[in-house]
Amino acid sequence: MNDTLIEQWRQRADAALQHWLPEDETLPQDLHRAMRYAVFNGGKRIRPVLTYAAGHALSLETDSLDAPAAAVELIHAYSLVHDDLPAMDDDDLRRGQPTVHKAFDEATAILCGDALQSLAFFVLARHLDPHIPAQQRLQMVEELAQASGSRGMAGGQAIDLAAVGRDLNVAELENMHIHKTGALIRASVRLGALCRAGIDATSLGQLDHYAKCIGLAFQIQDDVLDVEGDTETLGKTHGADLARNKPTYPALLGLDDAKRLANELIDDALHSLADWDEAAEPLRWIARYIVQRQH
């Protein structure tokens, strides 16, 4: 049942993204083609699925979740385009395909990321369900902006770039990934929850704690896969973090302890949903999937 729901939500997110992304034959064609290339290249859609799953746990109609689900995926897609640039992580592969700056050029990739980010806020501002109270709609825009900016994902990437070749301790590494990876995962869940009119602070807090735990576990599993995976399965260059001398959990803790920490975080996430009924089962499924995935 959960597998079926997850796939339905993936397809729904794709349909929403298809609807809001400019057609690639419209001017400027290269930019619009790059935007679609960046978004429709085999992503797992974990972030929009989390938005749908959070809303499902609160018995919301799926229609009300389409805009925030698409918005978080547009932000995620933009971040990957920019992360892959030569000035950042300098990657040639993303999900088994040439990265945007390789398929097009660097200038187009920069503009593509800019345009995807702008489109995310357009979708969130224009297409939110009008039944969501105005104050919560404004809070959703604020949540996504903060998760994307210097206090969230962009700040985490800056910390990551500055950390290359340095020895970080566990607290410093955790702080980096709470921002770089965790902030947008947290926003994905919170945006789904904020679609519920008058959501209570306790429910929002439990969902937020769940999201913080799975966000960090997600990054630890990424670090583990960089060691244990292969380029074909991962869809990106195997061992890239090690080659760049980037700080990772396996490098700092050892592979076994890194895996153990990821599983402890998932247990903590599941504990935060202990009082929730079966409507939260997709959230539980996603938490387990995060540490079981192979790419």
pLDDT above 70: percentage of residues in the chain: 93
Cβ burial, residue 53 (10 Å; 0-12/13-18/19+):
buried
CA 90 – CA 102 distance, rounded (Å): 10
What the block records as the tokens of 220 is 């630890």
Q: Write out the DSSP string of 232-271.
A: HHHSS-TTHHHHTT---HHHHH-HHHHHHHHHHHHHHHHH
What CATH number is attached to the domain comprising 163? Answer: 1.10.600.10
* Model pLDDT, residue 165: 81
- pLDDT 10s digits, 258-267: 999 999 999 9
* Model pLDDT, residue 244: 64
Q: Which of 189, 181, 183, 182 is nearest to 206 (CA)?
A: 189
* Model pLDDT, residue 293: 87
The stretch 48-55 carries a mean pLDDT of 98
* Model pLDDT, residue 205: 97
Mean pLDDT of the chain: 93
For residue 219, pLDDT over 80 is answered with yes
Domain of 85 in residue numbering reads as: 2-292
Phi and psi torsions of 44, nearest 5°: -80, -15
Q: How far is CA 252 from the centre of its chain?
A: 24
Phi and psi torsions of 97, nearest 5°: -120, 155
For residue 174, pLDDT over 90 is answered with yes
CA 169 – CA 66 distance, rounded (Å): 39
Q: How many domains does the chain have?
A: 1
* Model pLDDT, residue 145: 97
Helix/strand/coil for 197: coil
- pLDDT 10s digits, 77-118: 999 999 999 999 899 999 889 999 999 999 999 999 999 999
Most confident of 37-41, 224-228, 236-240: 37-41
Helix axes 46-57, 183-194, angle to 10 degrees: 40
* Model pLDDT, residue 86: 95
The stretch 246-253 carries a mean pLDDT of 89
Most confident of 155-169, 236-250, 264-278: 264-278
Confidence of residue 234 (pLDDT cuts 50, 70, 90): low
The stretch 41-63 carries a mean pLDDT of 95
Confidence of residue 175 (pLDDT cuts 50, 70, 90): very high
Where b means 16+ CB within 10 Å and e means fewer, 144-179 reads: bbebbeeebbbbbbebbeebeeeebeeeebbbbbbb
Among 144-148, 252-256, 270-274, name the one with the lowest average pLDDT: 252-256
Helix axes 106-127, 2-20, angle to 10 degrees: 100
CA 225 – CA 246 distance, rounded (Å): 14
CA 183 – CA 143 distance, rounded (Å): 9
CB 129 within 8 A of CB 63: yes
Phi and psi torsions of 93, nearest 5°: -125, 140
pTM, entire model: 0.93
Confidence of residue 1 (pLDDT cuts 50, 70, 90): low
